[in-house]
Amino acid sequence: MGRAAKFDRDQILDAALAITAADGPPAATMGAVAARLGAPTGSLYHRFGSRDLMLATLWIRTVRSFQRGFVDALTAGDAREAALHTPRWCRRHPAEGALLLLHRRHDLAARWPAELGPDLATLNAEVGDALDAYTARHPGVDRERLTFATIDVPYAAVRRHLLDHRPPPPTVDTLITTTCAALLPPPA
């Protein structure tokens, strides 16, 4: 009978996240993550098999975490809240925000593990479906405007603050709200 794992999957991913957010993707080696946890490097390889698999899993977990609130807001019919989800989420999750908005997924893993193919293939499907459903329920809104107002503008608005290792200030929310009001019809 084997020993129980001292660190679970999320603890390992959290350690990888902390290293990546502080020092960038190249610093998140299996050895560095193991050292941060106080775990043997072999235990990480036993859990993930490779650094690429560990970091790709971290990326997918972070994307899904972010997308939940965005999709919920659009499903509720509130494009403004969907747009404001980005700065609010980045304030609550600064390391995750830095991971998603400052590093491309290809920066994290040299080769994306084949076993994550199905996850990657469907990663943005729920967001796309939510955008389509919103525009179907709001005939005066086209998908390009909705995407620009709820995804592109918020991303651009928070990125420079995250590059400076600081949370987006509340003025970002005001600017995003103003942009949404200019681009999208008022909620019915």
Q: Could you give the number of structural domains in the chain?
A: 1
162 found inside a domain: yes
Residues 9, 174: Cα–Cα separation, whole Å? 38
Residue 1 is predicted with a pLDDT of 47
Residues 7-39 have pLDDT tens digits of: 889 999 999 999 998 888 889 999 999 999 999
Q: What pTM did the predictor assign? A: 0.87
119 occurs within a structural domain: yes
Residue 108 lies in a domain: yes
Residue 170 counted as domain residue: yes
Q: Name the residue range of residue 105's domain.
A: 55-183
Instruction: Tell me phi and psi for residue 6, to 5 degrees.
Output: -75, -30
Q: Considering the domain boundaries, does residue 43 fall inside one?
A: no
Q: Supply 107's token pair.
A: 């920066």
For residue 175, being part of any structural domain is answered with: yes
Residue 27, in any domain of the structure: no
**Cβ-based neighbours of 171, under 8 Å, separated by 6 or more:** none
- Give domain status of residue 50, yes or no: no
Q: Which helix (H) or strand (E) holds 101?
A: helix 94-102
Up-side HSE of residue 116: CA atoms within 13 Å toward CB? 20
Confidence of residue 105 (pLDDT cuts 50, 70, 90): low
